[in-house]
Structure 1
Amino acid sequence: MSIQIVILAAGMGSRLGRSLPKSLTVLGDGRSIMRQQHDNIRAAFGNAARITTVVGYRAETIIEAFPHVDYVHNDRYDQTNTSKSLLRALQVSGRGGVLWMNGDVVFDPRILGRALPLIEREQSFVTVNTAKVSDEEVKYTVTPDGHIKDLSKTVRGGIGEAVGINYISAADKRAFMRQLHRVGDQDYFERGLELAIAEDGLLLEPLDISDLYAVEVDFAEDLERANLYV
């Protein structure tokens, strides 16, 4: 199927302590984090998937490693957060919905297969893990009908964590982009989703992948944990 994918890989990833962009970190199976993302995308959606990567820090190293995808540059990568990187990519996307992921997520390829029915019916979603709720991660709560209500690192009483793979439908994209434009430079894209929920009536479904693995690699211990799966 033809689908638009965005990978957010503009940041410096300084917490991991590597000179290369974090997405080029090599995993235990010899692939980089971004290579396993590309492999998972192609396995789920085939060659028709259009991948756009947002780059900033040492952009040339990512472009050299993956020359056959589209690129958007966030020249203010050292002054902005994921809200502005994602906004740049959405502004050049086509009319359809967009699946996006953080460039540091090591994940089970079956996650994209599980997401496919929601994508096919144009349902915006956030993938979540209900098995743990860590203070450092983006947490969420739900409304009585089961849609996402709150989504941030500061959520109290969170029932799970967002894992960095998300979809915005064609119908919801304009409102989401307007909110991403409005939020602060240092805000994460989740702030744009929260505002779209509160002010635009965005219905965002939590896609539970707790039985599968998904690891955002921020620190050395995250990398060790990711290597247990690949």
Structure 2
Amino acid sequence: MTLHTVILAAGMGSRLGRSLPKPLTVLGDGRSIMQQQHDNIRAAFGTDARITTVVGYRAETIVEAFPDAAYVHNDRYDQTNTSKSLLRGLGRTGRGGVLWMNGDVVFDPRVLGRAIGLIEQDRSFVTVNTARVGDEEVKYTTSADGSIAELSKTVVGGIGEAVGINYISRRDKRAFMRQLARVEDQDYFERGLELAIAEDGVSIQPLDISDLYAVEVDFAEDLERANLFV
């Protein structure tokens, strides 16, 4: 399967307190976070999978570490959030569906294996964890048909957390990109998904991976937790 994948790696990651971009943080098994992501993508989709990385802060360090990937530069990385980085990345992926992930997520390789069925059906999805609902995490609710209704950090009564690994289908991509262009610079990409759902009738499925590990590394304690799995 030839699949376009976008990794969002433009941010400064200052909360982790390291000088290098957060995706280059070394895990307990000796790989960087981004290397673990590359390995997982290749294991699920083969060597033909196309990886485009959106870079900004200290971009040259990521390019040097992964010279064979394609790159898009967000030169406003210090003024914008993931909505604008993702918009730039999607703009380089043609017309087909796209898998994307935050560049700081350490995750079980089986997550992408579970996603293959929906990707082959070209159905948009957001991976979720229903085992916990943290106040600072992106939370979600569902509609009567089981699709995502709300998706943000401010959701009240969320039934789970978004993990940071997602897919937009070919048919939904244009509407999503239009909404990403519309949202505020500091909005997360989830705001674009919410607007596409509410205004364009886009259907986003929750893909439950609660039984698998996926850790978004924001703080030192997150890194410690991720290292328990790798």
Which residue of 2 is the match for residue 203 of structure 1? 203
The whole-number CA distance in structure 2 between the counterparts of 1:168 and 1:25 is 28
Q: Secondary structure at 2:19's aligned position in 1?
A: coil
Looking at structure 2, the residues matched to 37 and 122 of structure 1 have their Cα atoms a distance apart, in angstroms, of: 21
The aligned runs of 1:56-95 (5 Å cut-off) are 56-95=56-95
The 4+ residue runs of structure 1 with deviation greater than 4 A are: none
Q: Hey, what does 2:98 align to over in structure 1?
A: 98
| Aligned equivalent of 1:150 | 150
Cα distance in 1 between the residues matched to 2:69 and 2:92? 14
Q: What's the counterpart of residue 189 of structure 1?
A: 189
- Give the secondary-structure state (helix, strand or coil) at the position aligned to 1:40: helix
Q: Structure 2 counterpart of 1:113, which letter?
A: G
Separation (CA, whole Å) in 2 of partners of 1:122 and 1:50: 17
In structure 1, stretches of 5+ residues that fail to align are none
The answer on 1:222 being equivalent to 2:216 is no
Unaligned regions of 5+ residues in structure 2, if any? Answer: none
Q: Which amino acid aligns with 1:55?
A: V
1:15 match: 15
1:127 paired to 2:127 = yes
Match of 2:173 in 1: 173
Matched residue count: 230
Which deviations, in whole Å up to 9, do the C-alpha atoms of 1:80-118 show, x marking residues without a partner? 000000000111111110000000000000000000000
Name 1:24's counterpart in structure 2. Answer: 24
Read off the aligned partner of 2:158 and give its amino acid letter.
G
Can you list the C-alpha shifts for 1:93-149, whole angstroms capped at 9, x where unaligned? 111100000000000000000000000001000000000000010000000110000
SS of 1:12's equivalent in the other structure is coil
Matched to 1:192, the amino acid is: G
Q: Which amino acid aligns with 2:103?
A: G
- What residue in structure 2 maps to residue 43 of structure 1? 43
Report the alpha carbon displacement of residue 59 of structure 1 after superposing the two structures with TM.
0.1
State the SS of the aligned residue for 2:154: coil
CA–CA distance in 1 between the matches of 2:208 and 2:148? 12
| Displacement of 1:211 | 0.2
Distance in 2, matches of 1:91 and 1:107, equals 26
Match of 1:111 in 2: 111
1:212 deviates by 0.1
SS across alignment from 1:29: coil
Q: Secondary structure at the match of 1:151?
A: strand
Measured against aligned partners, the alpha-carbon deviations of 1:54-79 in whole angstroms (never above 9, x if no partner) come to: 00000000000000010000000000
Q: 1:48 is paired with a residue of what secondary structure?
A: coil
TM-score by length of 2: 1.00
Amino acid at match of 1:8: L
Q: Which amino acid aligns with 2:154?
A: T
SS of residue matched to 1:54: strand
What SS class does the counterpart of residue 38 from structure 1 fall into?
helix
Q: C-alpha root-mean-square deviation of aligned residues, in Å?
A: 0.3
TM-score, L = length of structure 1: 1.00
For 1:126 and 1:176, the matched residues in 2 are separated by 13
Q: Which amino acid aligns with 1:92?
A: R
